[in-house]
Each structure stands twice: as structure tokens, then as C-alpha cells.
Amino acid sequence: MHWLEGAVARAGLAGASSLSIPGDVGNIEAWDIASRTLGLAPLELAGRVASQFGLRVAEFERTDPRALALLPERLARRYHVFPLREDDRHIYVATADPTDIEVEHAIGFASGRRPVFELAPPNIIEDALLSGYSADRMVDNLLTTVDSQIADAVRVVDDLEPEAVDLTEVETGPVVKLTNLILRDAVMHGVSDVHIEPGPKGGTVRFRIDGVMRQHMHLPMAALNRVVSRIKVLGRMDIANRIVAQDGRAKVAIEGRNYDLRISTVPTRDAEKAVIRVLRPESARRLEEVGITPRELARMRQLLACRDGIVIVTGPTGSGKTTTLY
């Protein structure tokens, strides 16, 4: 049983009996599942869970900048914790998992103080990390966990020539590696759509897997803008035009297999948002194999045999529109 599921059960919250959290999911997804199942805001859920461990709910308004100097950024991001304040003997740290003994030992060793946990939802800790530590080093920290071959993990195989635009900013090593990392992770997780979305305090990369949106990583705005520009270059789109919605296509090879990318960008108040649909040509099937009933299939073939007209394929996300057309 996941620790959060057990804490909710002990707290006797309404709906606890229907809560089921797989033991192997991360804290971000676990908190999201619990919040949605119980109908509680993450901060309210934190208040209910904190009492089961005798902890306080973290108050980020009382953050002491001196505490940041005691806990290295790399360690804070690795364990997804945030230093709130310190005194002569203690360092008070916001965490989304108070049961992780390894984190407690690592913080104590690094800071030379005794850690005192305070509970906070993962999304609030992420916001604090983005604003508290230098966002300029975040991309480097993300890339330290991947191998040196990531720069060549994604290769464009489209034969079209790229547009004659200044690509100095978007073809630098870290930007290419980060974009390749996102695309490679998408393929490895069987993602159908990649959403790169700006926000007031940073950007978010989300994956749609089996119709469900899942948060994958956070990016500082500077990195998000460059990743979106890099993706626009792959799609042969105009990177200089950021105020008009654009569409593009790209064919890339990832881990030796070809994939088609359908790319859309939309301007928002904060920056451009990008959505990438990942298509696998080898997975294309015949109409008879996509689950269409024989009666409807006969009607569809009759429509396709007409000399003129239009066939509209509609439906909610994940209903099979692209599979049917592709």
C-alpha cells in the first residue's frame, strides 16, 4: 500500500475506501490521484495528512533565504524538497513524502543540521524550487541524469530543407539535448501527445498516455521558450513569429525507429504553447482492424466511393480519430 493511501485511511477521510494508489507511482501522481478521488484541494489534503504524522503544514511565506544556502540545489531537486528556514540546530524542510528516511539522512549530512519535515503538496514545492533556486541551472541539472548519446537520440529524416532563419539560439547543445530528451521519453512511455505549456512561474511538460494527462517535468520559462523554438524548427515553422498559431510536421528517427510528428503552436499570454502528436507509421492498420462494425464500415466505404463531398470524423480526445484516418 502506498504511504499516502495509508495516511488517508487512518485520517478517516470521506472516500478513503475508494482510494487506490499503485505502490510504484511517484509522489506527484500519487497526490494527484488522492486529490481527485477525495475531491480535496492538494493544500487541504496536506492539512489532513500532516496530522497523521504529527507534522505542520509548510508555510512558504516564512521562507528564510539563509536556509537555501544550507541545502544544495541539486539535492533539493533530486529529493523534491525545499528548505524553509533554519536555526542553530535544525533545518526546516518542506516535503511531499515524510516517510522517506533516505531524504532525511541526506539533508542532515549536507546541511549539518537536524532536518524537521513540514508537509506540502508536490506542486507547491515545485513552484518554490523554481522561484527559490536559480532557474538558469535547471536545464543542466535535468541533463546530468541522461547519457551523452541523447544529443543524437532524435534524428530528423525529412528530406525538406530547413527554412533560412537564425538558428543560433535553438541549436545549442543543451536545447537540442533537452528537446531530444522530451521526445525520447515520450516514445519510451507510449505517449500519444506531448503538451508543452507556459505558466506564470515556469513551464510544464505533460504527456497524454492512454488518454490520461500526466505531468512529466517542469521547465523555467527561458528553457521552455527555446524548446518550443527548437520544435518549431523541426516542423519547418517560423520561429520569429510568436503571435500567430502555426502547424507543422516532421519525420524523425528515435532509437532507430521512424515517427511522424504533427506539431501545433498557439500563442498565450505568457509564451507559446506547443502540442506534438506522436504517430507511429508501422502501427497503422486497415479499416477492418480498428473496431468499426461491419454495418458502419459498409456505410463508410459507400461514402468514400462518392466523387465529391466531405466526410467529417469527430469525437473526444482518445476516441480514435487519428487512428481511423491514419
In this structure, are 252 and 198 located in the same domain? yes
CB 203 within 8 A of CB 188: no
pLDDT at 180 over 80: yes
Q: How many domains, the chain?
A: 3
Domain boundary, last residue among 68, 98, 133? 133
What's the Rg (C-alpha) of the chain? 23
pLDDT at residue 132, as a whole number? 81
In this structure, are 102 and 53 located in the same domain? yes
290-to-31, 47, 109, 198, 322 alpha-carbon distances in Å: 35, 47, 57, 35, 11
Strands (E), 126-188: 154-156
Residue-by-residue DSSP string for 71-136? S-HHHHHHHTEEEEEE-SSEEEEEES-TT-HHHHHHHHHHHSSEEEEEE--HHHHHHHHHHHS-GG
Coil, helix or strand for 187? helix
Exposed e or buried b per residue across 64-77, where buried means at least 16 C-beta atoms within 10 angstroms of its C-beta: eeebbebbeeebbb
In this structure, are 22 and 120 located in the same domain? yes
In this structure, are 146 and 276 located in the same domain? yes
pLDDT-derived band at 165, boundaries 50, 70, 90: very low
**pLDDT tens per residue across span 265-301:** 999 887 899 999 998 876 666 777 777 888 888 888 8
In this structure, are 263 and 276 located in the same domain? yes
pLDDT at residue 203, as a whole number? 86
CB 193 within 8 A of CB 208: yes
Query: What is the pLDDT of the chain when averaged over all its residues?
Result: 83
pLDDT at residue 163, as a whole number? 32
Burial bucket for residue 258 (CB in 10 Å: 0-12, 13-18, 19+)? middle
In this structure, are 114 and 224 located in the same domain? no
C-alpha dihedral over 261, 167, 159, 232, to 10 degrees? Answer: 20
Cell digits of residue 229? 523554438
Task: Give the CATH number of the domain where residue 89 resides.
Answer: 3.30.300.160
Domain boundary, last residue among 133, 166, 181? 133
Sign of the four-CA dihedral 47, 53, 54, 57: negative
Q: How far apart are the C-alpha atoms of 212 and 126, rounded to whole Å?
A: 21
Where is 260: in which H helix or E strand? strand 257-267
Boundaries of domain holding 193: 141-282
In this structure, are 70 and 193 located in the same domain? no
pLDDT at 210 over 80: yes
pLDDT at 168 over 70: no
**pLDDT tens per residue across span 234-264:** 999 998 888 899 999 999 888 888 899 999 9
Higher model confidence: residue 174 or residue 186? 186
In this structure, are 151 and 278 located in the same domain? yes
pTM to 2 decimal places: 0.52
* Mean pLDDT value across residues 102-111: 91
**pLDDT tens per residue across span 22-78:** 877 888 888 999 998 999 999 999 999 999 999 999 998 878 888 888 888 888 988
Domain boundary, last residue among 133, 155, 176? 133
In this structure, are 168 and 100 located in the same domain? no
Q: How far apart are the C-alpha atoms of 212 and 209, rounded to whole Å?
A: 5
Task: Give the CATH number of the domain where residue 256 resides.
Answer: 3.30.450.90
For the chain, what is the total number of helices (H) and then of strands (E)? 12, 10
Cell digits of residue 131? 522561484
In this structure, are 212 and 304 located in the same domain? no
In this structure, are 309 and 266 located in the same domain? no
In this structure, are 31 and 122 located in the same domain? yes
pLDDT at residue 61, as a whole number? 86
Q: How far apart are the C-alpha atoms of 255 and 188, rounded to whole Å?
A: 9
